[in-house]
Structure 1
Amino acid sequence: MTNARTYGQMCPIARSMDVLGERWTFLIVRELLLGPKRFKDLVDALPTLGPNRLTTRLRSLEDAGVVRRTTLPPPAGVGVYELTERGEGLREPLVALGRWGLGLPPSPEIDPATTRVDLIALSISSVVAPDKLVGLKEIYEMHVGRETFHVEIADGRMLTRSGPAPVRPDLVITCRVRTFLKLIFGGTRAVDAVQSGDLQVALGGNEVVERAFDLMSDTEIDYPVYLGI
């Protein structure tokens, strides 16, 4: 008899869904794509999941070799969950799924206030063409609305991470959510946003600002979808 928790098929897609198909599992992995997280961080990011179900999902992901527990080095020294190398293999397919979802109009049941620009940045920055990143090693710290996240460029990759930059960044900006969305979806240029005061630059010159938003811009996405924010 087939276990009700498995599709019982020797198919790569079915086997993947045996591990990832339960509700909330993809979103836990999504949060860990932004970097290691404490249990409390995951509870705060997924409040309707609940601690008990979160514990169960994390245990399943650990058993599957997707997630592991570790301790951050001093001075933090706190226990966190992070993706294993196998878990990191989910970055490309999940980001592709995120990019597909960027173009979907929100349904009436979705609250625009739940918009998180770090997740939008994740869906864009992770797929920047490698040839645009050759020779670049920079960190951009972004304060957008109530969020703070940073974007790291190194070794031909551009990754979005939670929280402030771990070292001195090359760029620090502050803006509203609406301004950020206009900048990355082609609604306005960085130089114009700086001149109007909509984009404040605390660290970094015009060249770095323009380069950062040129790399993160995605004019293929229909910006008006987000005008309700």
Structure 2
Amino acid sequence: MARSLDVLGDRWTLLLIREFLLGPKRFKDLLAILTSMGPNRLSERLAMLVENAVIQPVTLHTPAATPAYELTALGERLRTPVLALGFWGLSLPVDERIDPSSARAELIALCLTAANDSVASVGLHEVYEFQVGAEIFHIQVSDGSLLARSGSCTELADVKIQCDMETFIALALRQITPTQALREGHAKLLHGDRPAFTRVFKVLEYKP
């Protein structure tokens, strides 16, 4: 545990890992998300994580070649403990210093991939893309395994959904059904059919 904390215990480090759980990230992406971190501290943390084989440099083609970082196989093994820390934090007293408006739908989706009942997605091989406010992210479903990723998917998604944050949370918590969300204009189906839209939130249903 002490050795783990040597690598992960500094401020910001686990938040960086959280972002890499959503896929490769460029330096400027991380700086835009963790605005208080500052470029010098970010450079130091990235160098330390590379040195310890938690992340590795990669090149993204978007469309020009762009340097970025992604988790290594060793870093990917942090997925379960990092998300478990997030769920553990739900039991702590509310910190009034945290602004609820800073919530991000893609982070909620990331947690949902770890909190759902995998039986609901056994046998499915689909991709769900979401536009929640200004955010775009997608979830890859592969026979009981779910993976949340930032940005649009490279192939055509089976379902593309547009809604606001309030609706996304209500759908995830089963406070509103997909049929209601569409009928009442809270959500828009950009691609795919209604049965597929309904299936999305069976797969993503929160199981505390």
Unaligned runs of at least 5 residues, structure 1? 1-12, 221-229
Q: Aligned equivalents of 2:62 and 2:31: distance in 1? A: 23
Counterparts in 2 of 1:129-208, with a 5 A limit? 129-208=117-196
Contact 1:186–1:219 (CA under 8 A) maintained in structure 2: no
Q: Compare the two structures and name the one with the higher strand fraction.
A: 2
1:118-173 CA-partner distances (Å, limit 9, x unpaired): 00110111343433322211111100112111111125311110011111000111
Q: Aligned equivalents of 1:167 and 1:92: distance in 2? A: 27
Q: Aligned equivalents of 1:161 and 1:109: distance in 2? A: 28
Of the three residues 177, 194, 201, the one matched with 1:213 is 201
Structure 1 vs Structure 2 CA RMSD: 1.6
Change (3 A) 1:104 1:141: farther
- In the alignment, residue 77 of structure 2 is paired with which amino acid? G
Contact 2:116–2:207 (CA under 8 A) maintained in structure 1: no
**Do structure 1's residue 18 and structure 2's residue 6 form an aligned pair?**
yes
**Do structure 1's residue 83 and structure 2's residue 71 form an aligned pair?**
yes
Residue 187 of structure 1 aligns to a residue whose secondary structure is coil
Of the three residues 78, 93, 97, the one matched with 1:109 is 97
**Do structure 1's residue 121 and structure 2's residue 109 form an aligned pair?**
yes
Seq. identity, %: 43
Contact 2:127–2:159 (CA under 8 A) maintained in structure 1: yes
Worse overlay, 93-102 or 117-126 = 93-102
How many residues are treated as equivalent by the alignment? 208
Of the three residues 14, 30, 34, the one matched with 1:42 is 30
Max Rg structure: 1
Of the three residues 84, 100, 114, the one matched with 1:96 is 84
Q: Aligned equivalents of 1:103 and 1:207: distance in 2? A: 35
Change (3 A) 1:102 1:161: farther
Q: Aligned equivalents of 1:179 and 1:113: distance in 2? A: 14
Q: Aligned equivalents of 2:25 and 2:109: distance in 1? A: 18
1:52-104 CA-partner distances (Å, limit 9, x unpaired): 00000111111111011011247342111000000000001111122233455
Of the three residues 14, 39, 55, the one matched with 1:51 is 39
Contact 2:7–2:52 (CA under 8 A) maintained in structure 1: yes
Q: Aligned equivalents of 1:96 and 1:36: distance in 2? A: 21
1:2-61 CA-partner distances (Å, limit 9, x unpaired): xxxxxxxxxxx2211111000000000110100001111111111100010000011111
Q: Which residue of 2 aligns with 1:6?
A: none
Q: Aligned equivalents of 1:181 and 1:123: distance in 2? A: 12
Unaligned runs of at least 5 residues, structure 2? none
